[in-house]
Structure 1
Amino acid sequence: MTQTPPRPLEGLRVIDLTRALAGPYATLLLAGLGAEVIKVEQPQGGDLARENSPYVGRDGIVVERRHEDDISISHLTRARGKYGVALDLKKPEARQVFADLVRTADIVVENFTAGTADRLGVGYEAARAANPRIVYCSLSGFGADDLEGGKAMDVIIQALSGAMFSSGEPGEPPVRFGIPIADMLAPVFSVIGILAAIEQRHRTGVGQHVDVSMLGALTSFVAIENWSAMAAAGMASRTGLTVRRLSPFGVFECADGYVALVAVHEKLARGLFRAMGAPELGDDSRFASRDVRVANAHDLEERINAWSRGLPTAEVVRRLEAEGVPVAPVRHPEDALVDPRVVGRNETMPIAHPDYDSEIDLRTAGIPIQFSEARTGFDDALPVRIGEHNDAIYRTLLGYSPEMLEKLSAAGVV
């Protein structure tokens, strides 16, 4: 009988103090890699994502919650594989409960505004006092050392990082990324930092504080292009649908949609010209080498669009593929999520309400990593209710007596 391979992070326990998207996505990644994640929520209200529309329930997909057991699809997505407990961190008694949880754990993740965790008594110093081996990750808008304590949302970080002005046409308004790129990128860096700290702990036996800034994470990606150099060379900083310093490179219009194509190098450019039925363009002094194609990018792009607009997307793709030119249709996200290549690798996964079927194929993010000697996947756990797993965690894991739990509950701590 074939034995199911383990997940890479099995045996590690995470105390998850996060909420909304950035922090919960970091702990979702850890859960999908095999860590046991204990999600801590306020007894009243819980994670902000519980109130995100749309919802799924007995009436299918709805914009407004109609029934008590309707579940936000955001929560259904982000809380997968996590065990949920209720703990009011504003209560003084919660500090001892937090310390007891940390003593059993390897990792703590929080994404409060800088300084909030310390004020609540659940910051790194409190965690380290309970467990010197703890790896404690703070994911905030501007870093744990931000003295102003500013609040950060994805759109704010996109604006401050310069990312909004890296897209769109010159002279046009800034363009917000259609996905919450800052909220998704910073958690990836957080997981990298956490795993690096765990590796260092293997050598030293000591944990540490991992500090990730959303602004820093996204700005580091924006900085991969040298904007000052491009400005000095007279190149437009805003690229719109194409990148003219690599021309031809970008998105072009077809009769019924759009394609993305890349014909940067000589062989590819000549393949493009043949697909266009205009091989003579390869000998045209405006397009005969990479540098002159860049210098005459505007004229070249007009020629390509004039050709592609007269053909269906599928025909443009067929002709370019026949010439070995990298090309793809620009797809709607719904189509992209069911591509057999990503479905087969569990890079997108189905989700469902635990009690009600849906006629809609609800798909969400998986773990886009493959291992030769391990697997990915989520524990069969979901905190449908706030405090769903209080008994399993507080009584079984921490050994709290029924009397102690009743006292904490009566005080509104759990």
Structure 2
Amino acid sequence: MTQGALTGLRLIEMGQLIAGPFCGQLMGDHGAEVIKIEPPKVGDAMRTWGQGLPLWFSVVGRNKKSITLNLREKEGQEIVKRLVGKSDFLLENFRAGTLEKWGLDYDTLSAINKGLIMIRVSGYGQTGPYSKRAGYGAIGEAMGGMRYIAGEPDRPPSRAGLSIGDSLAATYACLGALMALEHRHKTGEGQVVDSAIYEAVLANMESTVAEYTVAGHIRERTGSILPKIAPSNVYPTQDGSVLVAGNQDSVWKRMSAMMGKPELATDERFATHVARGEHQAELDIMVADWTSKFSSQDVLTLCENNGVPAGNIYRAPEMLADPHFKAREALVEIDHPHHDNFVMQNVAPKLSKTPGHIDSVGPELGAHNEAIYGEMLGMNSAQMADLQDRGII
């Protein structure tokens, strides 16, 4: 593995799908050795997920090692304990209580390795009346408040088209793990990181709760705008549409001059942030009338020349063609054993001294059994063959 900020640290990844494994991906991107445990023969369900072709695991499994292990069997659980003794982190996203049922609770594992940091991602967290419920990202997005305000006002709640709840919970789990690592540096002791999907979504809900408790206001679905934030919307052009955001006072002054209407900057209806918010619909009509006279590129060029934030709405083809993406290597082509031209998003964020790297796509199921069980745990070939014959590995 390429050197990264987390080089020298080892993470055992249990669980599947996105909420846990995306945390493992983030840590593996920055050099941690991530050993992914998968059920024998079937592996992580992500191996069969994706649109067009099942390519998702190649991304979320990147930079990881794969071993197979039956966690429901006592022998499998004992092997986990041996791995824990040689690791820094244990990451799991099973339903709360599952590890306890298997005898892999934190008290048991921390007795083996007092510095162990256990990262637990679940729908509702490890405590509380809902903790034992099954929880997917979509449910967390709904209960955390995101789904209610997503979509058009005249339609049922929508979704972003991505697993935002899972990814947020995994990102907070990674953040918590690094906080716990800093605590371990000071004290030598590990701890449990408890990341709930609904709470990760809730953490991003801005002032929505306070707006209700203080003012009795409930945010509603508003489509492509944020209420009272204007102008900031998708506007039509002669050949498509562009997103323009000129809502800050100083930016609006430049934008109104760019539109050939400098007087709007001092018009009492539009002169301030609050006033523009009150006249949002009227202002959007004016901006749309202006943008519709130009091509998308002309609008973007004018905005760039006048310091007004604007951009196209990208899909994969536009990302691949964009010179800024290329200059920053936001997308990278990685060797794949079965596919040519395999391009994925690069490591984020960028660190100046230890920038992280993608060394490999998600591995074949059990590709590292021999290395982990043989070299790390000292099993001989006969022992591994016996465990394989009995469905333990």
Partner of residue 39 from structure 2, selected from 39, 42, 57: 42
User: What is the aligned counterpart of 1:88 among 58, 70, 88?
Assistant: 70
CA RMSD of aligned residues (A): 2.4
What residue is the counterpart of 1:365 in the other structure?
A: 345
Q: Is the 8 A contact 1:246 1:264 kept in 2?
A: yes
- Which of residues 160, 174, 187 is equivalent to 1:177? 160
Q: Which amino acid aligns with 1:136?
A: M
Looking at structure 2, the residues matched to 230 and 281 of structure 1 have their Cα atoms a distance apart, in angstroms, of 36
The residue correspondences of 1:7-406 to structure 2 (distance < 5 A) are 7-54=4-51, 63=53, 72-148=54-130, 149-225=132-208, 228=211, 232=215, 237-336=220-319, 339-354=322-337, 356-358=338-340, 361-380=341-360, 382-384=362-364, 386-406=365-385
- In structure 2, what residue type is equivalent to 1:383? P
SS in 1 for 2:228: helix
Shift in Å at residue 98 of structure 1? Answer: 0.7
How many residue pairs end up in the alignment?
A: 392
1:20-50 Cα deviation digits (max 9, x unpaired): 1121111011111101111101103110111
Which residue identity does 2:99 align to in structure 1? A
**Conserved 8 A contact 1:31-1:379:** no
Shift of 1:397: 0.5
Using the size of structure 2 for normalisation, the TM-score is 0.92
Give the drift of 1:177: 1.0
Residues 365, 231 of structure 1: alpha-carbon distance in 2 compared, 3 angstrom cutoff: farther
Deviations 1:300-333 (A, max 9, x none): 1111112222322112222222322221122224
Q: Which amino acid aligns with 1:164?
A: R
Could you report, residue by residue, the CA deviation over 1:330-386 in whole angstroms, capped at 9, with x for unpaired residues? 2224323553434444433324431x442xx432232112223223013447431x2
> Over residues 216-253 of structure 1, what are the superposed CA-to-partner deviations in whole Å (9 max), with x where a residue is unaligned?
00111014445625994879643321223121123222
Task: Please give the secondary structure, in 2, of the residue aligned with 1:212.
Answer: strand
Change (3 A) 1:316 1:97: same
Q: Which runs of 4 or more aligned residues in structure 1 lie more than 4 Å from their structure 2 counterparts after TM superposition?
A: 224-227, 233-236, 379-382
The 8 Å contact of residues 20 and 47 in structure 1, kept in 2 or not, is answered as yes
1:132-174 residue CA offsets vs partner (Å, 9 max, x unmatched): 1111100111101244422222222222222122233333321
CA distance in 1 between counterparts of 2:201 and 2:252 reads: 33
Q: Which moved more, 1:141-150 or 1:215-224?
A: 141-150
Please report how far the alpha carbon of residue 201 of structure 1 lies from its aligned counterpart in structure 2 after TM superposition. 0.8
2-side partners of 1:28 and 1:237: how far apart? Answer: 34
Are 1:77 and 1:351, in contact at CA under 8 Å, matched by a contact in 2?
Answer: no
1:59 maps to which residue?
none
Tell me the secondary structure at the aligned position of residue 20 of structure 2: helix
Distance 1:33 1:271, change over 3 A: same
How far apart are 1:402 and its partner, in Å?
A: 2.4
Distance 2:216 2:287 in 1: 25
Distance in 2, Cα, partners of 1:352 & 1:373: 25
* Map of 1:69 onto structure 2: none
Whether the 8 Å CA contact 1:114–1:146 is kept in 2: the answer is no
Of 400-409 and 112-121, deviating more is 400-409
Assess, with a 3 A threshold, how the Cα gap between structure 1 residues 219 and 233 changes in structure 2: closer, same or farther. Answer: closer
Structure 1-normalised TM-score? 0.87
- Give the drift of 1:179: 1.9
- Contact 1:13/1:105 (CA < 8 Å) preserved in 2? yes
Closer/same/farther in 2, CA of residues 404 and 238 from structure 1, 3 Å limit: same
Aligned partner of residue 74 in structure 2, secondary structure: coil
8 Å Cα contact 1:194-1:210 kept in structure 2? yes
SS of the counterpart of 2:151? coil
Which region of structure 1 is more displaced relative to structure 2, 301-310 or 274-283? 274-283
User: Residue 390 of structure 2 corresponds to which residue in structure 1?
Assistant: 411
Q: Tell me, yes or no, if the aligned pair for 1:230 and 1:236 is still in contact at 8 Å.
A: no
Q: How many Å separate the matches in 1 of 2:117 and 2:291?
A: 54
The aligned amino acid for 1:220 is: A
Which moves more between the two structures, 296-305 or 323-332?
Answer: 323-332
Match of 1:68?
Answer: none
1:87-108 CA distance string (max 9 Å, x none): 0001111121111111111111
Letter aligned with residue 55 of structure 2: I
Q: Note closer, same or farther for the CA distance 1:289–1:146 as it changes in structure 2 (3 Å cut).
A: closer
Greater CA deviation, 178-187 or 213-222?
178-187
Instruction: Check whether the contact 1:109–1:137 (CA below 8 A) recurs between aligned residues.
Output: yes
User: Does structure 2 retain, via aligned residues, the 8 Å contact 1:337–1:363?
Assistant: no
Q: Between 391-400 and 261-270, report the one with greater CA deviation.
A: 261-270
Measure the CA separation in 1 of the matches of 2:361 and 2:345.
17
